[in-house]
Structure 1
Amino acid sequence: MPLRRGGSDKTDARAAVAELRQQIGGGDAAFVLVFLSPAYDRAEMLAALAEAFGSTPVFGCTTAGEITPFGYISGGLSGISFPAEDFTVHSALFEGLSQFQIADTIERTHQLVAHRHAQAQGRAGFGLLLVDGLSTREERLVSAIGNALAGLPLIGGSAGDGLDFKATFVLHEGRFVRDAAILLLVTTRRRFSVFKTEHFVPTAHKMVVTGADLESRRVFEINAEPAALEYARLVGLSNEPLSPKIFAAHPVVVRVGGQYHVRAIQKVNPDNSLTFHCAIDEGLVLTVARGIDIVENLHELFRRLEREVGGRPEAIVGFDCVLRDLETEQRNLKAAVSDLFMAHRVTGFCTYGEQYMSMHVNQTFTGVAIGAA
């Protein structure tokens, strides 16, 4: 049986789920992933999913935009079913992230890995992690889980709420949950390849974080100046109001382990502090980055994935940072990227951050490409 992908732009929860069910089935699925707009009534959505998929486990989260078989949409849902003949899944729900306990997280991850290993019959697998995108706990959570997976690769995304930054939810077997994360350990007989790509290179412009609150991810000072004003000066936009589109076009990066990683800015606050999508501490040296061709970068990625899975992937589950979505819209490239995603069978959502191996990252496209049976 194939991986089956679907989507709907219907705004009524029952109508959208009914359309998705027609596209992806579900009775023969090991599990289903659903990524949905925060605008849906959650109670209606849960009832519709239960009616459509019955006892089949359904996992997912709210989004900042959906990636469907017909491209990018906003205000709808996307989904994919994994056939039971080729896939099994083990899941864990981590609640109370605001009271994050590293030892408990590692222990529960070890237990889940042991359960998977006992039934895997030597087959390969990967971890998929969906996190409340406003929990501010991704770094610690991803580090703990990623290092406890006994070599299994990890990818995932942080839930969104359409850039409202008010409430994001993960969906775990009949419940929408905040302050929580879902870990899925997927076992398969098929070839697959996990990936991360970004399209930025560092410039010579450096900045030092001289005032920050790690817990809230707020930066108050850069180079001993108000953070927003100094950032605007360094990117040459002192006379323009800062917005998510500005942050998307002018990201900052940090060097970790010989590689640069984006540290994305979420918003500017009334006191001229900046809130980031990831943890930022005092003393951190940030570098202003500039973009390279995002379309060609994706072409290169998809060519590589075809080589790694032995042909065109049957499906790609993708987690695309919402700032990339804003950037492509600003540069009139969104249609081109959307067409590429359609051509290469990407299903997923626009995130508030991405997970890759043991790191929480920003302004990337991460995911897993899965080959044909």
Structure 2
Amino acid sequence: MGTQRWLGVGQAEGTEPDAGTRAADGALVHADAKLLIVFCSEALDPPTVLRQINERSGGVPLIGCSTSGEIAPDGSGERSVVVMALGGDGFSVRTAAATPASHDLRAAGATVARCISGLDERPHRVLLLLTDGLAGDQREILRGVYRVLGAGVPLVGGCAGAAQMERTFQLHGDQVLTDSVVGAAIGSDAPLGIGVRHGWRRVGEPMLVTASGGNRVHKLNGRPALDVYLERLGAHEACTSQEELSRLALVHPLGLGHREGEEEIRFVAGGDFADRSLACIAEVPQAALVWLMEGDAESVRWAGNAACEDAVAALGGDPPLGVLAFECVGRRPVLGHEGIRVEIDEIMKCSGGAPVAGFYTYGEIARIQGVIGFHNQTLVVLSVA
């Protein structure tokens, strides 16, 4: 006989020499784990942590990534490792990795998506993706996924983070990768629910994207995009460096008008102070209307709670075993230290006390229907019944 479905979460601080072992011990509450999902601060030694986790689990299928902060039931961390384990009856899992992703982002997405073909037949499925957000336009990865799966399989996940936006890591099995896409196709006998909300609001008049290419915006309203962006913030004279621009951009994303309702958020990742363009994590198409966005702790917390409520409601009344949270690092300075703690408490309350695991990302993935499903400065929640 098999065992009842279960989900466990463990967390260990990086100051502990056996952090990977301790986090795995907390997650592996039973012996028949089907999948481990690992979120690890780059401040730790990823190869050592990964080796410790695999030694403890005996080689359970594993995906993971580096973070800009970790989320666990005890709160958020910045130098820790978090492990979530799924196990028991009613799950089937296949994992895959594609590297180097930046050479052909669509092909990388398609390669990982094909792992779903090995799943046992189950009524509920999801593809969980963890990507290198610095590899290029993340929408291209999702276009590759769509080419393989169409719109019938929901997607969730996020872009790996790091303290400095220079290099991120992805984990697959016993490998520490970079410039990669890793994924886990999960089949489940019980429902899986997805919620996605951002909580940002429009400021001022719309701006027309008059010149762009890929994830770079060259002109807004016919003028250099960086100049227009800084003028709207009243910072045209004061902002003269990437560091100053990064601080402004964390709390002032661009909102891309969307005919289906809530705006898609585009994180401003930097600017070129020579040609006066803006770089975003994902594509901002030419001729689109964009808005400067802003938020406050209340609006961002409301969105987090709403995302969790949506994810739990999608379970159709089944109680969640736990939830995965993919939250943009740009929401953290708006929430503040206390707001972050309150948000995690509210997510756990919404899920009936079920454990939460996750990380702070460079971009979020959530597609319930449609073609793409890439987001910035948003909270995405996956609930597992």
TM-score norm. by structure 1 comes to: 0.88
One-letter code aligned to 1:51: E
**How many angstroms does 1:56 deviate by?**
1.0
**How many angstroms does 1:351 deviate by?**
0.5
Distance, in Å, in 2 between the alignment partners of 1:291 and 1:165 is 23
**How many angstroms does 1:105 deviate by?**
5.0
Structure 2 CA distance for partners of 1:285 and 1:329, relative to 1, 3 Å: same
**How many angstroms does 1:21 deviate by?**
2.2
**How many angstroms does 1:284 deviate by?**
3.4
Correspondence list, 1:24-35, <5 A: 24-25=27-28, 27-35=31-39
Correspondence list, 1:322-333, <5 A: 322-329=329-336, 333=339
Moved over 6 A (4+): none
Distance, in Å, in 2 between the alignment partners of 1:319 and 1:264 is 15
One-letter code aligned to 1:321: C
Structure 2 CA distance for partners of 1:329 and 1:267, relative to 1, 3 Å: farther
Structure 2 CA distance for partners of 1:6 and 1:301, relative to 1, 3 Å: same
Does 1:277 find its partner at 2:281? Answer: yes
Over residues 148-207 of structure 1, what are the superposed CA-to-partner deviations in whole Å (9 max), with x where a residue is unaligned? 325111111010112x11111110001011121012110111222112111123344222
Does 1:218 find its partner at 2:221? Answer: no
One-letter code aligned to 1:366: V
Correspondence list, 1:1-373, <5 A: 1=4, 2-12=6-16, 14-25=17-28, 27-100=31-104, 102=106, 106=110, 109=113, 111-116=114-119, 119-120=120-121, 122-150=122-150, 151-162=152-163, 164-214=164-214, 217-238=215-236, 240-241=238-239, 242-259=244-261, 260-271=263-274, 272-291=276-295, 293-309=299-315, 310=317, 312-329=319-336, 333-343=339-349, 344=351, 345-357=355-367, 358-371=372-385
Instruction: Structure 1: give runs of 5+ residues left out of the alignment.
Output: none
One-letter code aligned to 2:232: L
RMSD over aligned CA atoms reads 2.5
Report the 3-state secondary structure (helix = DSSP H, G, I; strand = E; otherwise coil) of the residue aligned with 2:145: helix
In 2, are the aligned partners of 1:136 and 1:279 still within 8 Å (CA)? no
In 1, are the aligned partners of 2:126 and 2:154 still within 8 Å (CA)? yes
One-letter code aligned to 1:42: P
Structure 2 CA distance for partners of 1:273 and 1:175, relative to 1, 3 Å: same
Over residues 222-250 of structure 1, what are the superposed CA-to-partner deviations in whole Å (9 max), with x where a residue is unaligned? 33434333212113444553443422322
Distance, in Å, in 1 between the alignment partners of 2:81 and 2:207 is 39
Stretch of structure 1 that moved more, 94-103 or 61-70: 94-103
Distance, in Å, in 1 between the alignment partners of 2:328 and 2:176 is 22
In 1, are the aligned partners of 2:105 and 2:140 still within 8 Å (CA)? no
In 2, are the aligned partners of 1:244 and 1:326 still within 8 Å (CA)? no
How many residues are paired up? 362
Stretch of structure 1 that moved more, 339-348 or 29-38: 339-348
Report the 3-state secondary structure (helix = DSSP H, G, I; strand = E; otherwise coil) of the residue aligned with 1:82: strand
One-letter code aligned to 1:338: I
**How many angstroms does 1:353 deviate by?**
0.4
Distance, in Å, in 2 between the alignment partners of 1:364 and 1:145 is 21
**How many angstroms does 1:342 deviate by?**
4.5
Structure 2 CA distance for partners of 1:261 and 1:318, relative to 1, 3 Å: same
Structure 2 CA distance for partners of 1:265 and 1:104, relative to 1, 3 Å: closer
**How many angstroms does 1:212 deviate by?**
3.9
